[in-house]
Chains A and B, each alone.
Chain A
């Protein structure tokens, strides 16, 4: 009998999809308990997206009123801010859920439990989507009520944009959490700042051609740039640019694969360097 086949009468099966899903559910449940138990936390999730959306929404209204820019009124800014927040909130949802294990000095327990690292990642991905739904659903509703912008009116394009943005957010979160595993909480700021690092290069509120020529290839190398160029095509010309969706998705897969490789590499280095046992505030 192998160690894995050995089964205590007190324990359920440890292998197979049901065991994996059970362990993932445990992590999802752990974070759901936190969200559910504290309304200020849930409110905090919505707070910044709402502030952002209101600020850009009123700016858009002002520009539409004073300059008569119909395209702006059609939702260029609000669409940009909502899509940008999908990326940022999803990345933070993943990273902060991971950081919470370190802040609460619980990572050792998780790493010592039968939970596999990839199961932890998959569970944090689900948690990030959960937090995204809590944060963005009321904000998207408010955008519709206050400014008449319905994000779902983007139709199929929205599904593509959403997929690209959450994919990018997970790859960024994998790298930043991997860095925290390897270098400890000294690297925590990466998790908070990585989103803002790509903001100017993702051309959320302006076209790529605004950037200097030498910087444009860098911008095109980022999947979100393809999303925001695609958004402008939909809003300004009513055109669905499938080429941008496709290139964004392909880039996304590359970034996700790279993110997983980097995370695994940093986890391996953390186990060699012994930093996993020193984690905590």
Chain B
């Protein structure tokens, strides 16, 4: 990955040893970032160009099994495009995303049943009841014992009284719980989450984070979390990949990151990076284009 010319303290990859946090998830203790065949996700020199705009400018990273990694960055940093390429919804201009060994640009259907995602920007049909929606998605993913699985999730996610109500009539918090049920329906080994707690009240957001942490621990699942909520990231993630204008500008544990920037929390680091980029007077943009 290229960080030449970036106005940030230098960082090294492949050196991190994950801290074990109480609520975060790490089935693997060693987070050495070298590509291994067992890594669920391998991103190699990933580039996406839309016309004159470089959305993603050569990303390299690997996600290890059973870990939560946060993908951070301001608006237009390339998070959504990166996640979309990981899901195979967008084809890279060059480079490759490999999920469970399958090239997502060409063979994504080989592994889509092993992953799932949740985003407040993608809805599920409003007119269908919660039960009908979960039934439809359960069939799409081929969930065995679907009725029992829906009942299990309804119990875990406190959906019992909502199952026969149309999804469109639910509150934002209730909808998020249903979306989470949809995302966990197939017990995915890889879960991609885009702003999973956006527009939720603090209590519901906290509850969702706890559910995600326990799912990751119990299932040994790998989670990639895109979020603007730094408290959430600090609580859940063992590793932070920070993007700016399509480049990786940081890839380390939250504590390493705050230490390197001499800040007390991720929020301050995020603001630091955003302001240094602004003050760099567009150098980064020029580097990206070069």
What is A's interface to B at a CB cutoff of 8 Å? 2-4, 6, 8-14, 19, 22-23, 25-27, 29-30, 33-34, 37-38, 100, 104-106, 108-116, 268, 271-274, 276-277, 280
Q: Which of B81, B100, B135, B140 contacts A115 (CB 8 A)?
A: B140
Q: Which of B88, B114, B143, B186 has the most CB of A within 10 A?
A: B114
Docked Cα-Cα span, A35 to B140, in Å, equals 20
Docked Cα-Cα span, A27 to B139, in Å, equals 9
CB distance from B129 to the nearest CB of A (A): 8
Across-interface contacts of B140 in A (CB, < 8 A): 23, 26-27, 110, 113-115
Segment from B15-23, B116-124, B199-207, B257-265 that makes contact with A: B116-124
Across-interface contacts of A116 in B (CB, < 8 A): 109
Docked Cα-Cα span, A144 to B101, in Å, equals 61
Docked Cα-Cα span, A66 to B182, in Å, equals 64
CB nearest to B112 among chain A residues: A114
The answer to whether the Cβ of B144 comes within 8 Å of any Cβ in the partner chain is yes
What is B's interface to A at a CB cutoff of 8 Å? 48, 50, 55, 80-81, 84, 87-91, 99-102, 107, 109-114, 116-117, 119, 121-128, 132, 135-144, 149, 182, 186-187, 189
A-B contact pairs, 24 of them (CB 8 A): A2-B101, A3-B99, A3-B107, A4-B110, A8-B189, A9-B144, A10-B143, A10-B186, A12-B143, A12-B144, A13-B142, A26-B140, A33-B136, A104-B124, A110-B140, A112-B89, A112-B116, A113-B141, A115-B140, A271-B89, A274-B81, A277-B80, A277-B81, A280-B123
CB distance from B1 to the nearest CB of A (A): 22
Q: Which of B101, B117, B137, B141 has the most CB of A within 10 A?
A: B141
Docked Cα-Cα span, A23 to B109, in Å, equals 13
Docked Cα-Cα span, A27 to B186, in Å, equals 17
Known A8-B187, A274-B81; judge A3-B144 contact (CB<8 A): no
Q: Which of A13, A14, A29, A272 contacts B136 (CB 8 A)?
A: A29
Docked Cα-Cα span, A110 to B137, in Å, equals 9
Q: Does A113 lie within 8 Å of B102, measured CB to CB? A: no
Q: Does A274 lie within 8 Å of B122, measured CB to CB? A: no
Q: Does A22 lie within 8 Å of B122, measured CB to CB? A: no
Docked Cα-Cα span, A112 to B117, in Å, equals 8
Docked Cα-Cα span, A28 to B227, in Å, equals 35
Q: Does B126 lie within 8 Å of A104, measured CB to CB? A: yes
Docked Cα-Cα span, A268 to B110, in Å, equals 18
Q: Which of B90, B99, B122 has the most CB of A within 10 A?
A: B122
Q: Does B186 lie within 8 Å of A8, measured CB to CB? A: yes
Majority SS of interface residues in chain B?
A: mixed
CB nearest to A113 among chain B residues: B140
Q: Which of B100, B111, B123, B139 contacts A106 (CB 8 A)?
A: B123
Across-interface contacts of A274 in B (CB, < 8 A): 48, 50, 55, 81, 84, 89-90
CB nearest to A100 among chain B residues: B125
CB distance from B207 to the nearest CB of A (A): 23
Q: Does B110 lie within 8 Å of A10, measured CB to CB? A: no
CB distance from B110 to the nearest CB of A (A): 4
Docked Cα-Cα span, A114 to B113, in Å, equals 6
Q: Which of A19, A105, A277 contacts B142 (CB 8 A)?
A: A19
Give 3 closest A-B pairs by Cβ, nearest first.
Answer: A26-B139, A12-B142, A108-B122
Q: Does B144 lie within 8 Å of A10, measured CB to CB? A: yes
Q: Does A37 lie within 8 Å of B136, measured CB to CB? A: no
Inter-chain pairs besides A109-B137, A277-B81, 5 sampled, C-beta below 8 Å: A2-B101, A11-B142, A12-B144, A105-B123, A106-B123
Across-interface contacts of A19 in B (CB, < 8 A): 142
Across-interface contacts of B187 in A (CB, < 8 A): 8, 10-11
Docked Cα-Cα span, A13 to B143, in Å, equals 9
CB distance from B112 to the nearest CB of A (A): 5
Across-interface contacts of B109 in A (CB, < 8 A): 114, 116
Across-interface contacts of A280 in B (CB, < 8 A): 121-123
CB nearest to B126 among chain A residues: A104
Docked Cα-Cα span, A29 to B149, in Å, equals 19
Q: Does B89 lie within 8 Å of A34, measured CB to CB? A: no
Docked Cα-Cα span, A115 to B137, in Å, equals 10
CB distance from A81 to the nearest CB of B (A): 31
Q: Does A113 lie within 8 Å of B127, measured CB to CB? A: no
CB distance from B133 to the nearest CB of A (A): 8
Across-interface contacts of B117 in A (CB, < 8 A): 112
